[in-house]
């Protein structure tokens, strides 16, 4: 079964410096029918104006994944970590017992466009941690590249939950398949472009909950489509 979450039905927030779209309930946007999916709790598509950003704030007991599409996102946290995240890089913060951090557009002239993803951890109260890795376009072009997993295999970032996170870049007619094991579900998020999911067309910002399907087939429907696929325990 595939249940679409159209981009235009997402929640939204606009603060001048921030234009955000919420796939699931977040902040002042509350939708009891979209509180998350399996262990996936938040997918926010954020566009931040030059030189602006999220001031220092706290999190606990959450796996936070940042995936930059355009521009550069500067990160600082109470662990003493400071970095800039650019397209092709994936960052994971384990908030655990508590972490303070800030996120700013690293550019004074160009906006930054990124996805912020929250995943419920399998255990509360873990030691806070941070990880960031780069995945070249060639690793994702025409294929599903594992970028996050519970055990950090194949060079992926480690996520403290039973989830396999894949990224793919698909041109028109590119086709990839992914088997979905018993007692597993998946979420597809289209970051840019358009794809066909088991014959259904999704465009940028659309998401889809996938359950009781043995195979997932993705076919590029536009040049340079980019997708994230979450394979999770049901």
Rounded distance between C-alpha atoms, residue 205 and residue 66, angstroms: 16
Query: What's the whole-number average pLDDT of the chain?
Result: 95
13, exposed or middle or buried, with CB in 10 Å at 0-12, 13-18, 19+? middle
| 72-97 pLDDT per residue, tens | 999 887 877 788 999 999 999 999 99
User: How does strand 145-149 pair with strand 82-85?
Assistant: unpaired
CATH dotted code for 10-134: 2.60.120.10
pLDDT average, residue stretch 107-114 = 95
Say how far apart CA 11 and CA 46 lie, in whole Å: 12
Strands 112-119 vs 145-149: parallel, antiparallel or unpaired: unpaired
| Domain definitions of the chain by residue range | 10-134, 137-233
Confidence category of residue 141, pLDDT binned at 50, 70, 90: very high
Give the model's pLDDT for residue 75: 85
Residue 57 has pLDDT above 90, yes or no: no
Q: Is the pLDDT of residue 37 over 90?
A: yes
Over residues 27-35, the mean pLDDT reads: 94
> Does residue 53 surpass a pLDDT of 90?
no
Answer yes or no: are the C-beta atoms of 230 and 67 closer than 8 Å: no
Indicate the fold that domain 137-233 takes in CATH.
Answer: Jelly Rolls (2.60.120)
- 32 pLDDT band, cuts 50/70/90, is very high
For residue 70, pLDDT over 80 is answered with yes
**For residues 36-74, b (16+ Cβ closer than 10 Å) or e, as one string?**
bbbbbbbbbbbbbbbebbbeeeebebbbbbbbbbebbbb
pLDDT, tens digit (0-9, with 9 covering 90-100), for 190-228: 999 999 999 999 999 999 999 999 999 999 998 889 999
User: For residue 22, how many other CB atoms are within 10 A of its CB?
Assistant: 21
């Amino acid at each position: 079964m595939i249940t679409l979450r159209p981009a235009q039905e997402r929640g939204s927030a606009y603060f001048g410096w921030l234009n955000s779209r919420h796939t699931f309930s977040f902040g002042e946007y509350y939708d009891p029918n979209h509180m998350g999916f399996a262990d996936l709790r938040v997918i926010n598509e954020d566009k931040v104006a030059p030189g602006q950003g999220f001031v220092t704030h706290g999190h606990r007991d959450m796996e936070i994944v940042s995936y930059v599409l355009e521009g550069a996102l500067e990160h600082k946290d109470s662990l003493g970590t400071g970095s800039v995240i650019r397209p092709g890089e994936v960052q994971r913060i384990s908030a655990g017992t508590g972490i303070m951090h800030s996120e700013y557009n690293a550019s004074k002239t160009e906006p930054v466009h990124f996805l912020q993803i929250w995943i419920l951890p399998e255990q509360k109260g873990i030691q806070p941690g941070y990880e960031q890795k780069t995945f070249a376009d060639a690793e994702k072009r025409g294929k599903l590249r594992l970028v996050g997993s519970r055990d950090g295999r194949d060079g992926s970032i480690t996520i403290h939950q039973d989830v396999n996170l894949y990224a793919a870049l698909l041109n028109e007619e590119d086709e990839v398949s992914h088997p979905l094991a018993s007692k597993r579900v998946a979420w597809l998020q289209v970051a840019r472009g358009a794809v066909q999911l088991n014959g259904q067309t999704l465009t940028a910002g659309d998401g889809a909950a996938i359950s009781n399907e043995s195979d997932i087939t993705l076919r590029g429907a536009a040049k340079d489509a980019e997708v994230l696929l979450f394979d999770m325990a049901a």
